[in-house]
Amino acid sequence: MNKPLRRIAIFCGLLVLALLIRDNWIQYVQADTLRSDPKNRRVAIERYATPRGNIIVDGNPITGSAKTSGDSYNDFEYKRTYKDGAMWAPVTGYASQAFGATQLESIEDGILTGNDDRLFFRNTLDMITGESKQGGNVVTTLNAAAQKAAYEGLLKQGKGAVAAIDPETGAILALASTPSYDPSKFAGNSTSVDGKAWTALQKKNDPDEPMLNRALREVYPPGSTFKVVTAAAALEDGLYTSADQKTDSPLPYTLPDTTTELKNEGNIPCKDATLRVALQYSCNTVFGKVGADLGKEKMLAEAEKFGFNSEQFTPVRSSASVFPEKMDKPQTALSSIGQFETATTPLQMAMVASAVANNGTLMKPYMVDKLQAPGLDVIEQTEPEKMSEPLSSENAGILQSMMETVVKDGTGKNAQINEDGVTVGGKTGTAQHGVDNSENPYAWFISYAKLSDGSSPVAVAVVVEDESANRDDISGGGLAAPIAKSVMQAVINSNK
């Protein structure tokens, strides 16, 4: 072969080699990137070519799929539908042809669309037999009656959130947030219908933020509900060893290194009060001094055992609750009564109540019980998992007796359940809101219910933001405790 032909042959060979390398690069290295590229409309067309699998509560679907219609849906055959969408939105999130997906709809999208790798064998069989590809199901831990009680209770108050947990497993039983939104309103891709509905829900157009999941993503000052954590720290550290041991609590109490007196709400018996009486009457002076006496390191360690300063994944992400890491002595005292920079999600405070109810053991919260293939075969099952042990069983028993006094004889009487064998423990809270507490405070209540056999089927946290209420009428016992009671009652009734 002469020299020019040899050069041409080598050049052509290099071109073929480059083409093969490029082809393999696209097919194997870039395949996932190209498949998930938002500009790749084929992916969206495939996603909505068949009905999605469903999200299941108590054996019943709370989602569905419907045939689309109209010129704007030419290449999307199905769209998502929701049953009681506004009530379940904090659990499901949304799946929209125009705006993507969030929460369970997004996290479990592979199962719901049938594209998960674990469904490969099933999809291969369907392809051979000519069956259409089907999506699997996401079976949740939610309790429909508890969710309804939480949502309807919040609707009467305006803004707020509820989180309820099974203390013995960590299974989430209710997750409600108001105001809410109906994901069905923008499940399609119509500019005139879905686009307008989406735009109206955005924060700039609706300052109430109906799309904010307040149960998982909003952090509030917890107010006096945090005193449960401070009491746990006092018992665990051995600062006090009994609910009925008198504390070293002067009245008035001046914050360390300052001339500022820490005030109580009204004329209540807080001087040298026992931990039981201090929790019953919600004495700021007692728990502020307890926090200062323990110091920031011990208070921080106990708060973090309950889950503070860490994000939670249920599998939906929950914002990290905050107990400050940098504080001086007076700030430590204020943080220990749920003020200063202490801030928490409702889920976190439900975790606090659940750990106390579960004899000191905190279970990891989760809301997906199992994932099912289209034929209902179980692909993945969630097993309860211990997260930490904030209290010994002995100290948890002491704290339970204190919280039960709050409901029986203290500020939490509105949470009492008058059934044989049912005991309720709780703690109220009224948290400052706005600069110098200029806005209506947040009303909190955390609680648990115990049955005659000693088991605890439910722990609850409720926060209410009632901007229209008379300021003097706002209290955790008045606004939040009745909602907690209805949620606990719903769980107890459904277990009968």
| 438: confidence class by pLDDT, cuts 50, 70, 90 | very low
Do 222 and 338 meet the contact criterion of CB atoms below 8 Å apart? yes
Give 196-221 pLDDT, tens digit per residue. 999 999 999 999 999 999 999 999 99
CB-facing half-sphere around the CA of 357: CA atoms within 13 A: 33
SS3 assignment, position 378: strand
Look at residue 474 in the predicted model and tell me its pLDDT. Answer: 40
| pLDDT at residue 433, as a whole number | 46
What is the rounded CA–CA span in Å between residue 350 and residue 433?
Answer: 21
pLDDT band at 74 (very low <50, low <70, confident <90, very high): low
What integer is the mean pLDDT of 125-153? 86
Ordered domains of the chain (ranges, CATH) = 223-369+387-494 (3.40.710.10)
* pLDDT attached to residue 30: 66
**Cα–Cα distance between 329 and 465 in angstroms, integer?**
30
Give the pLDDT confidence score for residue 472 in this predicted structure. 36
Half-sphere exposure for 101 (CA within 13 Å, toward CB): 21
Q: Rounded distance, CA 222 to CA 241, Å?
A: 25
Q: What is the mean pLDDT of residues 332-352?
A: 96
**pLDDT of res. 376:** 78
**CA 353, CA 461: separation in Å to the nearest integer?**
8
Among 281-295, 297-311, 379-393, 457-471, where is mean pLDDT lowest?
457-471
Specify the pLDDT at position 410.
92
Q: Could you give the CA distance from residue 317 to residue 112 in angstroms, rounded to a whole number?
A: 19
User: Please, which pLDDT band fits residue 437 given cuts at 50, 70 and 90?
Assistant: very low
Mean pLDDT of the chain: 89
Mean pLDDT value of segment 448-463: 96
| CA–centroid distance for 33 within its chain | 31
Amino acid at 309: N
Q: What are phi and psi of 341, to 5 degrees?
A: -105, 10
pLDDT at 339 over 60: yes
At 73, is the pLDDT very low, low, confident or very high (cuts 50, 70, 90)? very low
Of the spans 128-142, 215-229, 421-435, which averages the highest pLDDT? Answer: 215-229
C-alpha to C-alpha distance for 17 and 482, rounded to whole angstroms: 73
Q: Is the pLDDT of residue 434 over 60?
A: no
pLDDT at 441: 77
The three-state secondary structure class of 30 is coil
User: Average of pLDDT values for 370-388?
Assistant: 93
**pLDDT > 90: percent of the chain:** 73
Stated pTM of the model? 0.89
Q: What is the pLDDT of residues 77-127, one digit of tens each?
A: 899 999 999 999 999 999 999 999 999 999 999 999 988 888 766 666 665
pLDDT tens digits for 149-191? Answer: 999 999 998 899 999 999 999 999 999 999 999 999 999 988 8
The answer to whether residues 213 and 367 touch, using CB atoms and an 8 Å cutoff, is no
Residue 488: both structure tokens together: 């606990």
Judged against a pLDDT cut of 80, whether residue 72 lies above it is answered with: no
The secondary structure of 327-348 as a DSSP string is --HHHHHHHTTT-TT-BB-HHH
Residue 459 CA, chain-centre distance (Å), reads: 13
Residue 331 confidence (pLDDT): 96
**If pLDDT is split at 50, 70 and 90, which confidence band does 469 have?**
very low
- 66-80, 318-332, 386-400: range with lowest mean pLDDT: 66-80
> What mean pLDDT is predicted for residues 416-421?
91
pLDDT value, residue 407: 96
Task: Write phi, then psi, for 96 (nearest 5 degrees).
Answer: -125, 135
State the pLDDT at residue 363.
98
Active site residues: 224
